[in-house]
Structure 1
């Protein structure tokens, strides 16, 4: 696929522009835009996903940090649909304010060096996000979707799966990008769970528990959580204090955090 304009990738911004049409078509099939949907894209780049999505859907808001891409994107988008560009670092964008009462669907090819902060930023605004489809480093997607007991199951797995249904969709080879990255990528879907299904009493405490539990993976929960709660409170949640973090299911972390909230 040739893009409507050519702009060199900036290494300092971690830019790798998607160009392979087959991958873009697979992403569109996974996203499955419907009339009435509202879309926000993070990092449209050269418009590889933006313009086909515009052509299918008609309207899109995109957040782009690179000032040099704003005018080319605006001009090229005119042939496809109505593109609203927000020039900003995505971490500075208040998604709740952007939604203005209308939940939206979030898509994007996320820069590898900022993927985790962006994911946690989106989690903070999950109430206004219907679903998310992201292209990420495959290693990160593997961590996001990992099950208990896996070597890559950790803080990211628990935090995301507590609030979202996480589904790894398909792998993307380096050659699908210009310039090609040195690692494989993957596309992942996250669907925020309704609050009553999440069941977390104190989100901040939950985050603290998960962070401490995985802070030193070889420690037992009794030792890893010693600054948060004692072994009795861990046992009261129905969890063995001698367990290690990677052995606990997400639901057990929720139960543990709820039991120890306020302790």
Structure 2
């Protein structure tokens, strides 16, 4: 008789759970991550262990951050057959990745996970706050979000997320995943993306908060020109000093242009 805790069959909609079950997709993700000895792999939202257990079999030990307490005991029980699972019971948005890296005895961790669609952007921005403590990230996200992450100037989906992520990371979409690979099947396609934080010396952002404020204001009202959208953040003289034309809209400005603008002093 097996008395090990069992996984619930149903996903919790309020947590944005969609459990991956397609083994070919899982193997492609593991190959993309390519765990090596000495790596500190941290999975966000292991769910029912679809990616967790193959990573454990490949690597031997991983850390996983899980918010749903109903999954903790089943994960611990099932993981014993695959490797050593270090479970952190927490909301990932409350996790200090720098402190976690220190606890794991490494300078940088490697993040992975099938992110809940309703929290993907907050998790990405949270990770940016700890970019110096992260070597790379491999995430499954809604394809629409990955398209926005990787979009260039002039694209209809180029926006705040594109600029903020590309300023700090190299963003590489890897492959698309069909809805049938999940249980329950979402109504949209998903995609796997790789993010590699840039060398801090090459980023060029002098004041991260100022940069974030400029980008947020510029895209806050997309139809407005820079002259109008940035009226409370940068005047025409500053916009021109950054080498930008005030009559352009935010989606026409590349990442380097936003970095130049963000590095200029605040008006007033």
Give the TM-score of the pair, scaled to structure 1: 0.96
Change (3 A) 1:243 1:179: same
1:189 aligns with 194
Q: Contact 2:234/2:266 (CA < 8 Å) preserved in 1?
A: no
Deviation string for 1:63-102 (max 9, x for gaps)?
Answer: 0011111111001101111100001111111111111153
1:95 aligns with 97
1:226 corresponds to 2:228: no
- Structure 1 runs, 4 residues or longer, greater than 6 Å off: none
Distance 1:261 1:169 in 2: 39
1:36 aligns with 38
1:145 aligns with 150
1:173 corresponds to 2:178: yes
Q: Contact 1:160/1:166 (CA < 8 Å) preserved in 2?
A: yes
Provide the alpha-carbon RMSD of the alignment. 1.2
* Mapping of residues 152-167 of structure 1, within 5 Å: 152-167=157-172
1:242 aligns with 247
Paired residues in the alignment total 260
2:222 aligns with 217
Distance 2:210 2:21 in 1: 42
Q: Contact 2:235/2:267 (CA < 8 Å) preserved in 1?
A: no
Give unmatched runs, 5+ long, in structure 1.
none
1:132 aligns with 137
Q: Contact 2:234/2:267 (CA < 8 Å) preserved in 1?
A: no
Q: Contact 1:202/1:261 (CA < 8 Å) preserved in 2?
A: no
Distance 1:220 1:164 in 2: 27
Residue 182 of structure 1 aligns to a residue whose secondary structure is coil
Residue 264 of structure 2 aligns to a residue whose secondary structure is helix
Offset, 1:260: 3.6
Distance 1:5 1:103 in 2: 33
Which region of structure 1 is more displaced relative to structure 2, 251-260 or 197-206? 251-260
Deviation string for 1:158-214 (max 9, x for gaps)?
Answer: 000000000111000000000101111000000000111111011000000000000
1:110 aligns with 115
Give unmatched runs, 5+ long, in structure 2.
none
Distance 1:108 1:192 in 2: 17
